[in-house]
Structure 1
């Protein structure tokens, strides 16, 4: 019953919000965000704890205001995503301001392939639609399998409708890493959300002075294929979303394979930390993130390779809880 209610809610969002005037939808998103923020449920409390790492000198009042802005940014992402299927090319172009496009164009023109790796910032679906419709680069991404299956199918159809090829992280019977590597060797583009480790076998990195894990998939794929690894950051700036495509992270030539992968993942984390520090309200991290916050788990045999990060699942309970 709970899964059915979640699916019904998302279906209603896609069906109805695209029919309403944009100011009405924006106002509704702010109202929902403020309601969740005032309740201070589990997701909001965790967001504030995470933001406390980003802004350690902030007072309680300052963190509360920052988390309110964060919830409004988070709900803006969902309101925009429900409306994206009916946005035309002009609307998408007018909603984006992008820096560093030359790094992506150079990588694609060299036919070496490119990996756009981004954190949970801004609206990654809007950024992907812009890449497809404005630059003409279709790309492949990965989605975590959801329950119920019909909800997962809706999200796949939604992203495919924006021009993306979507691979299921699990349950498809095909090698996700192998497929991504083939796409890159064909000179194509892949996009991966890479700040949150879902596998519990990611690479340890220092992030705002504390240890967490991030997926090693982007760095491993760059090593394996020679594709350019390009960190991306996103943030809201008034009515538009800003985006920055950063210079490629090189594969260290003076290090063993594992060491090089770790250094590349840390370099990517450092880029994201700098951007999140500038735009903390647009980092949508409502889950436990640092190892100090996660429950201790028994050590397991090391995995041969970290799976690629997935497009984030729809957090059905984070706002309401």
Structure 2
């Protein structure tokens, strides 16, 4: 792709912002972002209304309007904080990740890897999953993620470098490297992290999520069957401003005796059931702001 001046301008702006944020103490960087985030949320009436509809659709009529507003703002603030922490990624060292991220089930992770194979970890769009990746790498976990190429080639290359520096292998879904994922799971003890709580563009797997029928991508089930590895479900939760926790919430194995379509539905429904539990327990941590809402048209008011 030809690099245009707009690519250079965007890249320079991002690198400058990242460098400035990385120089600030963690809490100071978040405090700097809090004010603009509050102003944007207060002025964005359509965003607030859409988020409230989605919360009502997912959480039901038992939640008061006041609580919906509180959850919506906290979720937006957490999203901004996660973006700030992502921009500060070059400044996040292992010691800092260890200090702010609590990992559960570490022994179980190592026990699974000791069998000479990797596994899949499915997480919802909650909390700072990139920081969780840094913390897991510090525990000896070699992570893979599937990545779509950014339109700006300079930004794309920078993101790949950041992830590589954090010990995460980003696999471009548009290259031949995608064909190696199953082998690396089987033979190299890699751990594939996937976030499947998005609306499938085509050929999705029918599931019920947050009480609503929808269709999600079936990559989790596909690689579980192809590589013969288990699926762990997990959640990442922010508490307050700077404390994070990673927790395993479940496990499921593929069943080669079942027809593929049936097994894919079984696996994906299990995953989405665990996600429903996580989201309803910690709605302030969920990403309610995707333009292409996973549940389709919002029905709540």
Contact 2:222 2:264 in 1 (8 A): yes
The Cα of 1:213 is off from its aligned counterpart by 1.9
Query: Helix, strand or coil for the counterpart of 1:289?
Result: coil
Distance 2:180 2:222 in 1: 14
CA distance 1:35–1:291, shift in 2 (3 Å): same
Q: Which residue of 2 aligns with 1:312?
A: none
Q: Which residue of 1 aligns with 2:280?
A: 277
Question: What's the CA shift string for 1:205-235, capped at 9, x where partnerless?
Answer: 1011112222211111111111121111111
Give the stretch that moved more between structures: 1-10 or 285-294. 1-10
Q: Which residue of 2 aligns with 1:236?
A: 238
Once superposed, what is the RMSD of the aligned Cα atoms?
A: 2.2
Q: Which residue of 2 aligns with 1:218?
A: 220
Distance 2:267 2:279 in 1: 18
Contact 2:23 2:91 in 1 (8 A): no
Q: Do structure 1's residue 25 and structure 2's residue 29 form an aligned pair?
A: yes
CA distance 1:102–1:41, shift in 2 (3 Å): farther
Query: Helix, strand or coil for the counterpart of 1:247?
Result: strand
Contact 1:104 1:245 in 2 (8 A): no
The Cα of 1:143 is off from its aligned counterpart by 1.1
Q: Do structure 1's residue 119 and structure 2's residue 124 form an aligned pair?
A: yes
Q: Do structure 1's residue 182 and structure 2's residue 183 form an aligned pair?
A: yes
CA distance 1:52–1:258, shift in 2 (3 Å): same
Q: Which residue of 2 aligns with 1:156?
A: 160
Query: Helix, strand or coil for the counterpart of 1:248?
Result: strand
Query: Helix, strand or coil for the counterpart of 1:246?
Result: strand
The Cα of 1:10 is off from its aligned counterpart by 2.5
The normalised TM-score by structure 1 is 0.83
Q: Which residue of 1 aligns with 2:266?
A: 263
Give the stretch that moved more between structures: 23-32 or 33-42. 33-42
The Cα of 1:95 is off from its aligned counterpart by 0.7
CA distance 1:251–1:237, shift in 2 (3 Å): same
CA distance 1:157–1:199, shift in 2 (3 Å): farther
| 1:8-19 equivalent positions in 2, closer than 5 A | 8-19=12-23
The normalised TM-score by structure 2 is 0.88
The Cα of 1:82 is off from its aligned counterpart by 1.7
The Cα of 1:19 is off from its aligned counterpart by 0.8
The Cα of 1:279 is off from its aligned counterpart by 0.7
CA distance 1:10–1:44, shift in 2 (3 Å): farther
Contact 2:229 2:253 in 1 (8 A): no
